[in-house]
Amino acid sequence: MNKTRAYAALLKAEAYRLGFEFVGISKAEFLEEEAPRLESWLQQGRHGKMKYMENHFDKRLDPRKLVEGARSVVTLLYNYYPEEKQHDPAAPKIAKYAYGEDYHFVIKDKLRLLMAYLEREIGSISGRAFVDSAPVMERAWARKSGAGWIGKNSLLLRKGQGSYSFLAELIIDLELEADGPVKDYCGTCTRCMDACPTGAIYEAYKVDARRCISYLTIELRDKEIPESFEGQMENWAFGCDICQDVCPWNRFASPHNEARFKAAEGMLEMPAEEWFEISKDVFNGLFKKSALKRSGYKGLKRNLEFLRRSRK
């Protein structure tokens, strides 16, 4: 076995031991196919007010500009599908990924352990770990590594598991044997497109962030959500799982085994009226380690007030 294959096997074995559900490897190179797509999407303004998407265009497309001497991009998937859902069907909905502790911290901890292991076993390695926090085109790298295919809702889909997985990357200067992509298994299905209440999936494989409920409830920092979306939010207060919930591949989703993703005590049991009357102290106590901190108390209250108005 040559070194690139041996090192790849070593890395994958340890990553699986740490709880990752998939590990794939790509050669660190320019993402030629993605360049025109990204440029067109940005020029059309489909990213809305996420101005950070316009930054570091070259770095998004070439990992060697992010990590000097990069040879390999390692894609890792971590399951977050919960065993339990919110109990009150009338309660404002929270995206499943935000039930427990903020995934950035959980997965970064595991990536640090993985890097430390590689350095012990192989020697000095230069690189960086990324968890949705830098100009890295995660889904493009995941597709190249064979983690799955990009679905019509623009999310990564994986046979036998679906799309309820966090994506993370190691970009390192170690040469590893690369894996290859898998085929697209969406076929003629358009359930995600048909189910999106705001029409955000305006074309197969293309999403207009400005119409996406996740964007409107998390990324959009305006004082108010545009009135034109009243009655279309389907009770989502933070994020949205509609296009995932209707996807046939997610019938294979299995519950995660990560204790830190367990929902904060009492969160899933909260009835609708408690959500609408939530105080800042309760918010801070319940969500002190949660991704809901992303919107903050004011952001969540804005979303809840918008839903309340929509109910009238």
* Interval 118-164: pLDDT, tens: 999 999 999 999 998 788 999 999 999 999 999 999 999 999 999 99
Where are the domains positioned within the chain?
A: 3-83+99-172, 191-253+263-311
Q: What is the pLDDT of residues 167-221, one digit of tens each?
A: 999 999 999 999 999 999 999 999 999 999 999 999 999 999 999 999 999 999 9
Catalytic residue among 109, 132, 184, 208: 132
Work out the average pLDDT over 277-285.
Answer: 95
Contact 238, 86 (CB under 8 A): no
Confidence grade of residue 312 (pLDDT, cut at 50, 70, 90): low
CATH architecture of 3-83+99-172: 3-Layer(aba) Sandwich (3.40)
Query: What pLDDT score does 54 carry?
Result: 84
Q: What is the pLDDT of residues 23-73, one digit of tens each?
A: 999 999 999 999 999 999 999 999 999 988 888 888 999 999 999 999 999
184 is catalytic: no
Query: What pLDDT score does 1 carry?
Result: 61
Q: How far apart are CA 287 and CA 267, in angstroms?
A: 9
**Average pLDDT of every residue of the chain:** 95
Question: CA 196, 206, 299, 265 torsion: positive or negative?
Answer: positive
Q: What is the pLDDT of residues 285-306, one digit of tens each?
A: 999 999 999 899 999 999 999 9
Give the DSSP per-residue string, the chain.
--HHHHHHHHHHHHHHHTT-SEEEEEE----TTHHHHHHHHHHTTTTTT-GGGGS-HHHHH-GGGTSTT--EEEEEEEE---S---S-TTSPEE-GGGSSB-HHHHHHHHHHHHHHHHHHHH----EEEESS-SS--HHHHHHHTTS-EE-TTSSEEBTTTBS-EEEEEEEESS------------TT--HHHHH-TT----BTTB--GGG-HHIIIII--SSS--GGGTT-STTEEE---HHHHT-GGGGG------GGGSPPTTTTT--HHHHHT--HHHHHHHTTTBGGGGTHHHHHHHHHHHHHHHH-
Of 32-41, 84-93, 250-259, minimum mean pLDDT range:
32-41
- Cα angle at 92 between 88 and 98, to 5 degrees? 100
Question: CA 133, 139, 144, 147 torsion: positive or negative?
Answer: positive
